[in-house]
Structure 1
Amino acid sequence: MTSNSPDRPATAHPGTPVRGRAHPPRHRQGPSPEEGELLRPLTRRQIADRMGELGELYTRTTPSGRRKPPSGRPFSSDPSALLAPSPQARSAAFLRRLAEHMRRPGFELLVAEATRPSGATVLTACAYGFPVLGDDTWWQELDGHLPANLPDLAAPGGLFVIGDILVERRVRTQDQSRDWNLARRLQKRLLSDHTAAVGVTLVDRGDTDTVAALLSWGWRCLPSADRRLLVLR
């Protein structure tokens, strides 16, 4: 453990003045704990082997809460209708979505792994995505509410959809603007691996926590109908 106490010569005795005392080191921002986490892509086979871990990561890192009613409609009188899906249901839905996206050409999933003092390697975060073209069925989810230039960027493969970024809460709420923020490292790596001009993602309007996190990581929100379209350049 590092001490901030000034150095004392080994020959000094208690009560003896120390000459030439060095100035204490200037305070500076320490290295991010996330900087030590290794980012690496997984093959489809490796993803299949680690589906259980990825499902647990999703449950651990995504906020859960009570369901919100559709706009303009009252809450149901049935108390069970107000409850959020169980962790198991949310994890299963994520894994189904991931399995579907894995079939897309150019799909890539990155994981962040840290080594514990025991020597064990643990999964701490992941992000995945895939490129889209101008005629991709993915555009149908946007209900036609698109900036005019986005489909043009997609024509040469300039758009990369980021499906999910799964990180611990501290990454969502601390040092979001730092380049070494783990979420920023993941999204930057995905885009640079695919030389994409623009990253895009869709978020449910009710998921305010995720929208706020993405905005803090450099995304900007564009209008869409039932969902929010966010863009990262």
Structure 2
Amino acid sequence: MTVTVPAQPTTTKLLRRRVGTDRPALPEPGPPPPERGSSPREGQRVRPMTRRQIDDRLQELGDLYAETSGGGPRAWNEARGAFLRRLVADVRRPGFELLVAETTAITGCAYGFPLRGGNPAWEGFDGHLPGRLLRLASCGRLFVICGIHVPAHVRGRNQDRPWNLARRLQRRLLADHGAAAAVTLVSRSDHSTVEALLSWGWRYIEGDTPRTAPHGPFRVLVLDS
């Protein structure tokens, strides 16, 4: 699971003028300007893809997954193939949406589908959703985010900024579907993804603590709109 914000001006302090001189005071060196990050006003454009566009650019999406997963050579083989198989299956789900961020090429993506009361349970959620989320699912306001694939710098810098690309993608998915919350599954061994999601505003479900976490291979995380 990845635009330039104007940097704040460097603050300076003026030195007192020397008595009897008209030389202008020299500014003291100030702190370095804040780090520049992605901006929603320039750079990546976020837009949804139709199913036909997904089919046409499937290999490019697979390359994006391999490039952003950090899995080395394996990411370009088994992991990339497994990702594409999951994506092809998920595209068939009712209400599925895939958003891409792009400049001249795809630089990030996020995708998922609404979890409604009449839908078959998504693998891994059985028995793990509290009553509040089940009620949202029953009225079509719960969204499953299957994946957020972004460059490493989006995971590591400016995670709490609203213009962070991952935050933009997940927020757009919820807004497009009028969802009150999103849920996702993360492998218990995938600590880096859990940390990234938490930095983007996700949280554990109620009752999920190191001592009381539900059993199973996955952890369930929740994102409120």
Task: Say whether the fold is shared (TM-score over 0.5).
Answer: yes
Give the deviation of 1:148 after TM superposition.
1.9
Between structure 1 and structure 2, the one with the greater Rg is: 1
The 2-side partners of 1:182 and 1:37 are apart by: 8
Unmatched runs of 5 consecutive residues or more in structure 1: 5-16, 66-83, 115-120
- Tell me what 1:160 maps to: 143
The 2-side partners of 1:140 and 1:172 are apart by: 26
Unmatched runs of 5 consecutive residues or more in structure 2: 1-8, 10-21, 209-213
SS of match in other structure, 1:141: coil
- Tell me what 2:221 maps to: 230
CA contact (8 A) 1:58 1:166 kept: yes
The 1-side partners of 2:176 and 2:75 are apart by: 35
The 1-side partners of 2:39 and 2:62 are apart by: 21
SS of match in other structure, 2:143: strand
Q: Deviations over 1:77-129 (max 9, x none)?
A: xxxxxxx9553110110011011110111111110112xxxxxx111100011
SS of match in other structure, 2:193: helix
- Tell me what 1:178 maps to: 161
- Tell me what 1:97 maps to: 86
- Tell me what 1:197 maps to: 180
Q: Aligned residues: percent identity?
A: 51
- What amino acid sits opposite 1:60 in the alignment? E
CA contact (8 A) 1:39 1:111 kept: yes
The 2-side partners of 1:186 and 1:163 are apart by: 12
- Tell me what 2:194 maps to: 211
Per the normalisation by structure 2, the TM-score is 0.77
- What amino acid sits opposite 1:228 in the alignment? R
- What amino acid sits opposite 1:168 in the alignment? P
The 2-side partners of 1:18 and 1:190 are apart by: 58
CA contact (8 A) 1:142 1:225 kept: no
The alignment covers a number of residue pairs equal to: 195
The 1-side partners of 2:139 and 2:35 are apart by: 41
Matches within 5 A, 1:73-92: 85=74, 87-92=76-81
Matches within 5 A, 1:117-128: 121-128=104-111
Give the deviation of 1:139 after TM superposition.
4.3
CA contact (8 A) 2:136 2:180 kept: yes
The 1-side partners of 2:198 and 2:109 are apart by: 18
- Tell me what 2:51 maps to: 44
Give the deviation of 1:21 after TM superposition.
9.4
Aligned with residue 37 of structure 2, among 32, 36, 43: 32
More displaced stretch, 215-224 vs 17-26: 17-26
CA distance 1:170–1:50, shift in 2 (3 Å): same
Per the normalisation by structure 1, the TM-score is 0.75
CA distance 1:20–1:228, shift in 2 (3 Å): same
Give the deviation of 1:25 after TM superposition.
10
More displaced stretch, 223-232 vs 202-211: 223-232
Matches within 5 A, 1:140-151: 140-151=123-134
CA distance 1:144–1:28, shift in 2 (3 Å): same
CA distance 1:149–1:166, shift in 2 (3 Å): same
- What amino acid sits opposite 1:158 in the alignment? R
1:113 corresponds to 2:95: no
Give the deviation of 1:26 after TM superposition.
9.7
Q: Deviations over 1:10-60 (max 9, x none)?
A: xxxxxxx88799999997646533532100111100000001110000001
